[in-house]
Amino acid sequence: FDGDKGKNTGGMGAYAPTPFVNNKLLEEISEKIINPTLKAMKDQGAQYSGCLYCGLMLTDEGPKVVEFNCRFGDPETQVVLPLLDGDLLELLYSSASGHINKNSVWYNGGSSVCVVLASQGYPDQYVKGKEIFGLDIAHNENIIVYHAGTTFIDGKILTSGGRVLGVTSIIKGNNLSIAKQICYDVVAKINFDGMQYRKDICDKALQIKH
């Protein structure tokens, strides 16, 4: 639900870049969470190389860990990767080889907003098999629609999961307001029975920046 209300769910949206993170906060996260975690894994004989996703909550008492995953975050990845130029394969390969090349990719200066469309009932028992309409007219040069809980049956795209689609806008320049508008304009063109989504993705960031 809007306003961070309702039950705990998977990510219902994401945006990048964020005004909530600065170098000081990144250093705090590294010193208090990432480095101790990696050291503990190494001490236990499980030295790790690869993608380690750390899901955090920013609280009045500092960053708190929600979860760790050995994969990219969803839907965070949908807004981060389109804003990277360079060679992602080189970055991943160098990480796996133990000699990470931090210059493999760099931020291209753009903005991105992702809104997740969910099935009725999610995050509890949800309805499946609802036909999805509007995908053909949702095409936009600034939009990627990522499929998650969908299936293709008899020429129709149907819902098959709780989080169904991730509608993601990507624009040049640091302007989350425009990225959000483009994203929600496309969301309005898509429809399936029971579709629900948050209408306040990146609002907090916009309140800080303006």
User: What kind of architecture, by CATH, is found in domain 109-209?
Assistant: Alpha-Beta Complex (3.90)
CATH of domain 17-107: 3.30.470.20
- Indicate whether 158 pLDDT > 60: yes
* DSSP class of 102: T
| pLDDT tens column, 45-70 | 988 888 899 999 999 999 999 999 99
DSSP state of 76: H
Q: Which long-range contacts (CB under 8 A, 24 or more apart) does 200-205 make?
A: 200/2, 200/3, 201/12, 201/13, 201/14, 201/15, 201/113, 201/114, 201/115, 202/13, 202/15, 202/113, 202/176, 204/20, 205/15, 205/18, 205/19, 205/20, 205/176
Domains in the chain: boundaries: 17-107, 109-209
Q: Establish how many alpha carbons lie within 13 A of residue 52's alpha carbon, considering only the half-sphere containing its beta carbon.
A: 15
Q: How confident is the model at residue 84, as a pLDDT?
A: 96
Topology agreement, domain 17-107 and domain 109-209: no
Amino acid at 67: E
The answer to whether the pTM exceeds 0.85 is yes
Distance of CA 21 to the CA centre of its chain: 16
Q: Would you state the pLDDT for residue 83?
A: 97
Share above pLDDT 90 across residues of the chain, in percent, rounded to a whole number: 85
CA distance 92 to 50: 7
